[in-house]
Structure 1
Amino acid sequence: MRLLKVATCNLNQWAMDFDGNLKNIKESICRAKEAGAVIRLGPELEVTGYGCEDHFLELDTITHAWECLKEILVGDWTDGIFCSIGMPVIKESARYNCQVLCLNRKIVMIRPKMWLANNGNYRELRWFTTWKQKDELEDFQLPSEIAEALSQKSVPFGYGYVRFLDTAVAVETCEELFTAMAPHAELQLNGVEVFMNASGSHHQLRKLDLRVQAFIGATHTIGGVYMYSNQQGCDGGRLYYDGCSCIVVNGNMVAQGSQFSLKDVEVVVAQVDLDAVASFRGSISSFQEQASSSRPKVSSVAVPVSLCQPFNLKMSLSGPLKVKYHLPEEEIAFGPSCWLWDYLRRSGASGFLLPLSGGADSSSVAAIVGCMCQLVVKEIAEGDEQVKADAIRIGQYTDGQFPTDSKEFAKRIFYTVFMGSENSSEATRKRAKVLAEEIGSWHLDICIDGVITALLSLFQTLTGKRPRYKVDGGSNIENLGLQNIQARIRMVLAFMLASLMPWVHNKAGFYLVLGSANVDEALRGYLTKYDCSSADINPIGGISKQDLRGFLQWAAVHLGYPSLAEIEAAPPTAELEPIRANYSQLDEVDMGMTYEELSVYGRLRKIFHCGPVSMFKNLCYKWGGRLTPSEVAEKVKHFFKYYSINRHKMTVLTPAYHAESYSPEDNRFDLRQFLYNARWPYQFRKIDQLVSELDADGVTIKKELGGGGMGVVAAGSSDPKAGL
């Protein structure tokens, strides 16, 4: 038996925080060595952090990465352990995303990434170039300071693998696994047994299975050991990297790290038998034939070192285990909670403030903050000193005290504010108060009517007119204006309270304002520009209304906030218009479409890249069993009209946690113009022509499950990296 102990890790890196990133890398190497591992794999671009974006264009970033690598190599960190360390490297004026392979204080090889992620949330081609020379390894001259410190002038650079005396090891970086011709296939035919995949991949609801199945598939048919390492946490942007580092052997998961955690460093170790890989491959006749034929030859670097240990009964092998998946409701609870904690501890803020209306969206945000407080207390109880130190600092504990109760911790760091008006119901006021008590937040209940009246009086003095609500005889323009005043006053008050309430309570610092607009409202534009949806950050901005409803039901039981069940059951309403005996404002009536329909429109628009005509055709198949072509056409045109006239709101959306593949977020993910011809004259005319033809032919459209349309899946994506 050739026994090999390998270690991979989740690291919570922060873009451009070289000190913190280096500390985490060293800690992970130490833990791997303590566990007896002889291979250590870290995440993609772990030295700099994955999300540096245009900082990658600065020579300082590259220089600092080399300085950090030098500190690792001149110490004893790599003694006796083969380490893959991710960082940017410039070779002959071209910048590459690289894995630097190190052993015994030397660089063995530098492997540049050959296929870059460049869609969805990713823009790697903006900062890096692909490595295109696959034929042979080239000689790379190390920076003079590094060369002098290591007594090593040059190193092999390019596509290849490392040949040890007893096995062969190769790198496959993130996106490369998901390409049509992934490198691992030809590397397996060249005798590589161990693969190291360094990744920087974000969380998205229901997407972990895509990633896991890719690892399993890479070794299921032709064998091998597949190691996967990922970043975990918020490294400075909208994405949460969800860890889940793992080790797969011959298609079986043998070790898996957490997907959501507050830990800065998590190391996953497995003991594998490479003879099992050789035996597996030897039993496949087709593999034997292909490996012995004129296969593509891949260059290699020989290292005269043995990594494996001989047969030893005291060393147990890591056996297959069941892959751990979270329910979507758990993903909503834990992903944004961990993201919020990283943002809070790294921003210098002292807590959060949330305008809590008693509705489903703001209550979801409150529950997520409550979940964050529970996770913090749990990690402290389990001995995480970093979480404890951060919690003591943020909560401003003294005399050796620290959080032991989530409600007590919430009282220190979380303000909730019900900003009621004459249009608010007593039911929502009560629901907000009860939920705040369950979570433990410092709850404020204020009336904003006085401020609204003052503004209207000012307007009347200026113009001689006073607007009225529609139910009181006013026009649509007056009605909308009166609603917007309330919404924008809440935004102003929220930021005022966030900056001054800590001062009122003799606390240092400031509070971050949390937004609570969901992804469907953003897509439809069903929010006021610069209202209380305008905040510092928004943990649910990438989550659909349907998923939030499921989360509320789950959280009522599993987070211990029973009032959420009543909140979920209440019909969604903005409560910006007066309540009358014969009228009550409802979101779906206002929008002219249901939240369920919005999710369908969003997926067709973004994931399947449908314009109005394609969406009409698709929905004729999906909804043909209950709607006529004319009715489908009206729904499609109604959606695109309001999507278009409200698109400008996407340019100022509060930065939100990315969780959904049809997000309309304008910063990076969904790049479209914000000035549309909202009449869509050409496209709508084509739809009307199709309707006329269908009506003239007397065609009855039936719902088809296959062949007729693209179909609409619960959570799909044409972006492979979205599933990483």
Structure 2
Amino acid sequence: MGRKVTLATCSLNQWSLDFEGNLDRILKSVEIAKTQGAKYRLGPELEICGYGCADHFYESDTLLHSFQVLRMLLESPITQDIICDVGMPVMHHNVRYNCRVLFLNRKILLIRPKMLMANHGNYRELRWFSPWNQLRKVEEYFLPRMIQEVTGQETVPFGDCVLSTKDTCIGTEMCAELWNPRSPHIQLGLDGVEIFTNSSASHHELRKADQRVNLVKSATTKSGGIYLYANQRGCDGDRVYYDGCAMVAINGDIVAQGAQFSLNDVEVITATVDLEDVRSYRGELCHEPKPCHRVKVDFSLSTDDDIYLPAHQPITWLFHTPEEEISLGPACWLWDYLRRSGQAGFLLPLSGGVDSSSTACIVNSMCVVSIFQVLEDVRRVVGEQSYYPQSPRDLCGHIFTTCYMASENSSSDTCNRAKDLSNQIGSTHININIDIAVKGILGIFSAVTGRWPQFQANGGSQRENLALQNIQARVRMLLAYLFAQLSLWARGKPGGLLVLGSANVDESLTGYFTKYDCSSADINPIGGISKTDLKSFLLYCVEHFQLTALRGILAAPPTAELEPLTDGQVSQTDEADMGMTYSELSVIGRLRKISKCGPFSMFCKLIHMWKDALSPTEVAQKVKHFFRMYSINRHKMTTVTPSYHAESYSPDDNRFDLRPFLYNTRWTWQFRCIDNQVTIKT
């Protein structure tokens, strides 16, 4: 009697609606799993069509093409003699479900619909799918004719059921079900299921990996068992980055770990585990089974002669630091966008400040990661089939253009810092002076109105001052797109460039940027990262990539450089303009989104958190100032550049943070409650 089983799980870089590419990657993963001796292969959530299809899930085409891919999988000789577990949408009784389809040797064994949906933050599953809420209930699903022709089956089991092989029992979870307090694996374990599987599309956030690993470990710590975790990898055409981390655990220990960040489209993780270890672990536990419907299959995952087959031993999970996550996650996301967009590289307005320098460093990291891993894609992007990069710096010079756009308000310090950083990473650098364009636009205004606005430093009003700053910022956006479209053409090279943005999550919170300025880019790799984390990331780049030019950038106070200089020196700083520090904004942002605080409850928390530094009156002033700025500028989030999602308090209106953009900015009732408390205290 066999006791050891070899199981395979994987991370796949699937792409929404790329049915042909998705099929190829699935087949490749099955082929690798078989060569490594696996008898069961698990893939990520909705891997056939891609997880991020969004409203394309409403289309009958998406269902049709998914079944066409399933047919090709069933017919392929690659999928024979191994249980394949794939994800796709399925319509049952005119209701759309997010499903796992398990098949073996041209026969579908069962279809298991998702029971607990992800419907918060970045996820909207209830918009497209219904949960299967009939616990322990199984119905007959009538297969489409194209599938019947291959399998010879008219119907297959559909519902809350598990797979019983000749030697063990396998139960399914799907992504959010692991995170739910009513996780299916609890009752499955009590009913004797020994192998739990989880197919996920779980996105990357800073410091999130340990939560995921701990959930997988705890799923088998309480009642024993084997847990397989598969995940999507890559951008899938959206703001989030799915970060892999495929893994296998047994009895609370991780025994196999996949990469969190990688440019490999297909990664397969296999582990050989001993079923008797599960049975021994459960020997002293009390069980109260609630029987699951078992679908029996005449197939064994183990062999009779596996006594000398070594089992995988526990390993310690190697976590990345937040600085490494910023270096790797957005870099992989950028690479996916670049290679799939058909463009020839990136253009970045490089100001010499922390934010744009962070974006430049992420592109540098992308060149380090991609230089040899994906040479075929590199050559296609560069447009030279014989190109072989000599170094990350060499590749950077081919695909990355930076430009410093100076005005009469720019300092030589920021210009030099931008140039020094460009030299160290190897980008093609351009210096542009925007004064002639600014004066031309003001000349048009003056010709129409007869008025010429002035900065406050020169006697103008606040409205004039703001308008003059915004003109500079918006001219830079126009020039960025002009040079992105034509700079390669001017050099006699084909293709265009994607414009990169560099507004951080804290500035988005208060709207501390000009609408339709350089923040209006094609994509933004740092839009979900806090200023505090970006500074730590740049310190990491100084040591890890030897980018010593960053020391001067970190030492300089953040400034937009949109107002006149004083004696040749910058007089305007970001934190003074915002009325609070970046570290204070980070705390406020987390309270607003994660702790779900309105103005009054935020005040109540901050008077304790900041009691050593600020009085209740000062806290009240900061809270009210933040909510005024937040509500005045919330409309900017409706046009925000698609940004890499990295921080759980992101104000991104496109999907993650759905709130109004037209507020009563006086917050009369809320602020009165705060004032009443301040009055009582004083």
Q: Residue in 2 aligned with 1:162?
A: 163
CA offsets 1:203-235 (integer angstroms, 9 cap, x no match) = 000011111100000001211100000001010
Counterpart pick for 2:586 among 587, 599, 603 = 599
SS in 1 for 2:91: strand
CA 681–178 in structure 1, closer or farther in 2 if over 3 Å, else same: same
Deviation at 1:290, TM superposition (A): 2.3
Distance 2:125 2:488 in 1: 41
Q: Residue in 1 aligned with 2:607?
A: 620
On the 8 A contact 2:27/2:79 being kept in 1, the answer is no
Counterpart pick for 1:577 among 563, 567, 582 = 563
On the 8 A contact 2:175/2:200 being kept in 1, the answer is yes
CA offsets 1:277-315 (integer angstroms, 9 cap, x no match) = 101111x2xx2x324xxx322111011222112454652
Distance 2:551 2:41 in 1: 46
> Is the counterpart of residue 359 in structure 1 residue 346 in structure 2?
no
On the 8 A contact 2:561/2:570 being kept in 1, the answer is no
Distance 1:445 1:343 in 2: 27
Deviation at 1:455, TM superposition (A): 1.5
Amino acid of the residue matched to residue 411 of structure 2? Answer: S
Deviation at 1:410, TM superposition (A): 1.1
On the 8 A contact 2:46/2:99 being kept in 1, the answer is yes
Q: Residue in 1 aligned with 2:99?
A: 98
Distance 2:222 2:594 in 1: 31
On the 8 A contact 2:255/2:271 being kept in 1, the answer is yes
Q: Residue in 2 aligned with 1:394?
A: 381
CA offsets 1:451-497 (integer angstroms, 9 cap, x no match) = 11112222222222211111222211111111101000000000000
Amino acid of the residue matched to residue 299 of structure 2? Answer: V
5 Å-filtered alignment, 1:225-624, equals: 225-282=226-283, 284=284, 287=285, 289-291=286-288, 295-310=289-304, 312=306, 314-379=308-373, 387-398=374-385, 400-581=386-567, 584-624=571-611
> Is the counterpart of residue 669 in structure 1 residue 656 in structure 2?
yes
CA offsets 1:693-713 (integer angstroms, 9 cap, x no match) = 122xxxxxxxxxxxxxxxxxx
Q: Residue in 1 aligned with 2:6?
A: 5
Distance 1:52 1:364 in 2: 31
CA offsets 1:551-602 (integer angstroms, 9 cap, x no match) = 0000111123221122112110111111104861110001111101111111
Q: Residue in 2 aligned with 1:703?
A: none
Q: Residue in 2 aligned with 1:130?
A: 131
Amino acid of the residue matched to residue 426 of structure 1? Answer: S
TM-score, length of structure 1 as denominator length: 0.93
Amino acid of the residue matched to residue 467 of structure 2? Answer: G
Q: Residue in 2 aligned with 1:711?
A: none
Distance 1:127 1:13 in 2: 19
Distance 1:626 1:548 in 2: 24
Counterpart pick for 1:642 among 619, 629, 642 = 629
Deviation at 1:337, TM superposition (A): 0.3
Amino acid of the residue matched to residue 12 of structure 2? Answer: L
Deviation at 1:422, TM superposition (A): 1.0
Distance 2:216 2:652 in 1: 30
Distance 1:136 1:466 in 2: 75
Deviation at 1:321, TM superposition (A): 0.6
Deviation at 1:360, TM superposition (A): 0.4
Deviation at 1:31, TM superposition (A): 0.1
CA offsets 1:349-403 (integer angstroms, 9 cap, x no match) = 1110000001000000001001111111141xxxxxxx221110111114x2322
Amino acid of the residue matched to residue 156 of structure 1? Answer: P
5 Å-filtered alignment, 1:164-203, equals: 164-203=165-204
Amino acid of the residue matched to residue 648 of structure 1? Answer: H
On the 8 A contact 1:353/1:513 being kept in 2, the answer is yes
Amino acid of the residue matched to residue 458 of structure 2? Answer: D
Distance 1:10 1:647 in 2: 37
Distance 2:600 2:160 in 1: 45
On the 8 A contact 1:76/1:105 being kept in 2, the answer is no
Distance 1:75 1:554 in 2: 47
Distance 1:306 1:351 in 2: 50
Identity of aligned residues (%): 54
On the 8 A contact 2:346/2:400 being kept in 1, the answer is yes
> Is the counterpart of residue 679 in structure 1 residue 666 in structure 2?
yes
Q: Residue in 1 aligned with 2:209?
A: 208
For the aligned residue pairs, the C-alpha RMSD in angstroms reads 1.1
On the 8 A contact 2:411/2:570 being kept in 1, the answer is no
Distance 1:583 1:685 in 2: 38
Distance 1:244 1:605 in 2: 30
Q: Residue in 2 aligned with 1:652?
A: 639
Amino acid of the residue matched to residue 71 of structure 1? Answer: M
Distance 2:253 2:581 in 1: 43
On the 8 A contact 2:106/2:150 being kept in 1, the answer is no
Distance 2:142 2:37 in 1: 33
Distance 1:14 1:483 in 2: 41
Distance 1:374 1:515 in 2: 21
Distance 2:136 2:400 in 1: 58
CA offsets 1:415-447 (integer angstroms, 9 cap, x no match) = 100001111111111111111111111100111
Extract structure 1 runs of 4+ deviating beyond 3 A.
310-314
Amino acid of the residue matched to residue 169 of structure 1? Answer: I
Distance 1:168 1:185 in 2: 14
Counterpart pick for 2:675 among 688, 709, 714 = 688
TM-score, length of structure 2 as denominator length: 0.98
On the 8 A contact 1:3/1:310 being kept in 2, the answer is no
On the 8 A contact 2:221/2:252 being kept in 1, the answer is yes
Amino acid of the residue matched to residue 425 of structure 2? Answer: I
On the 8 A contact 1:392/1:403 being kept in 2, the answer is no
Q: Residue in 2 aligned with 1:704?
A: none
Deviation at 1:25, TM superposition (A): 0.1
Distance 2:60 2:216 in 1: 35
On the 8 A contact 1:190/1:297 being kept in 2, the answer is yes
Amino acid of the residue matched to residue 596 of structure 2? Answer: H
Distance 2:460 2:114 in 1: 62
Give ranges in structure 2 of 5+ residues lacking alignment.
none
Amino acid of the residue matched to residue 372 of structure 1? Answer: M
On the 8 A contact 1:3/1:311 being kept in 2, the answer is no
Q: Residue in 2 aligned with 1:707?
A: none
Amino acid of the residue matched to residue 452 of structure 1? Answer: V
Amino acid of the residue matched to residue 108 of structure 1? Answer: L
Distance 1:29 1:688 in 2: 64
